[in-house]
Amino acid sequence: MIRTADLERLVTFNGGRHGVLSVYLNLAPARQLRRSYRTAFNDLVKRLEEQLDAERRTALQEEVARVWQYLDAEPPRGQGLALFSCAPRDFWQAYHLPVPVADDLRFGATPYVRPLLDVLDEYERFVVALVDKEKARLFSVFMGEIEEERELFDVVPGRHDQGGWSQANYQRHHEMHVHWHLKRAAEALAALFRRHPFDRLVLAGPEEATSELRRLLPRPLRAKVAGTIPAELFAGEAEILRRTLEIERELEREAEERIVDELEELNAAGGRATCGVDATLDAIWQGEVRRLVVAEGTQLAGTECPQCGRLARAGYGAEARPGAHCPLCNSTLVLLDDVVERAAERVLDEKGTVEVVHGAAAHRLSQHCGGLGAFLRF
């Protein structure tokens, strides 16, 4: 499972003249049965070889051999695979992902990390507390996977059916034990958060139990409650996961809409934001971007100056053709198949963040900003 720390290690690696092979393969169940992901990899290699000179093809073949060795030895797991290889620098990273990724193959000086940016951005770490008046089950949900963390059980005396003072005393006794049980569940959640911080908390179970648990949570955890799910304690993991992912998707889309709203409003008011490909690439060149916002699927050919670092889309400021020169320092430009990917790498290198937006937010960003915008540092 890829995590932010893993991504940071990838971003800082540079294979230089040796090159890094980045491989993404869709491992959907049907593809695993037919092993068609191997055919897809082979086709990607053939297409890439056609674009390289003899020296680069030889270097590529060394990396491809390492990947084939891995595919032969390791059975497919999950729904996606990301591999990064640079044999001369003894660099190798392999990640089985619980979510699908599009087939892709890149061979360049640095790992191609943009698909991983999208994966990490889409998935927050959730904890689900499934409770009733006697039991509590805690689950961790991340990147489409669910794992049960802990189960708590408390003996709670039943309600007393007799009348008079005896019934009132038993009722208070029962309610006190329910309170203690849910308080212990809240303490277990707080302890889990200290050990493994999570982004969101979902409460599941009968309304009476979830309401009381929410009241007993420490304030920091109460602020993380993302929703409540009516459920029985014996609910299966698949059902809990499905309902949690529905909440996650709704929250993510709402957050993306707010990001695009803020970006457009700040830019229109002349604030510290850019809206548009050219203005955003200029801001990245000047080191001003603290948060890059990209519409899903945005890809543009462009150039990068190896001397001054200027990024530009094709046809803006310099012609994107072999041998073209930087209009600022006259150095020979490096042609890029996707200047947006390079822009994301540059922002990460400078300790900024990248937000990939989807659906309606992506459509608005594409219409109004060409698919690219940024919040600025200064």
Given this model, what pLDDT does residue 96 score?
A: 86
Q: Residue 29 has which token pair?
A: 């169940």
Tell me the fold of 255-376.
60s Ribosomal Protein L30; Chain: A; (3.30.1330)
d(CA 362, CA 365): 5
d(CA 235, CA 349): 44
Digit-coded pLDDT (tens) for 263-282? 999 999 999 999 999 999 99
Task: Name the average pLDDT for the chain.
Answer: 87
Region 62-70: what's the mean pLDDT?
A: 96
Residues of the chain with CATH 3.30.1330.30: 255-376
Q: Which residues of 292-313 are buried (b: 16+ CB within 10 A; e: fewer)?
A: bbbbbebebebbbbeeeebbbb
Given this model, what pLDDT does residue 147 score?
A: 85
Digit-coded pLDDT (tens) for 24-58? 998 877 677 678 889 999 999 999 999 999 999 99
Higher pLDDT, 192 or 351: 192
Work out the percent of the chain whose per-residue pLDDT is above 70. Answer: 90
Digit-coded pLDDT (tens) for 285-342? 999 999 999 998 898 999 999 999 999 988 654 455 677 888 889 888 988 888 998 8
Region 4-10: what's the mean pLDDT?
A: 73
CATH 2.170.190.11 correct for 4-116: no
The CATH number of the structural domain formed by 126-235 is 3.30.420.60
d(CA 145, CA 155): 31
DSSP class per residue in 79-124: SEEEEEEEGGGTEEEEEEESS----EEEEESS---HHHHHHHHH--
**Which residue type, as a one-letter code, is found at position 2?**
I
Residues of the chain with CATH 3.30.960.10: 4-116
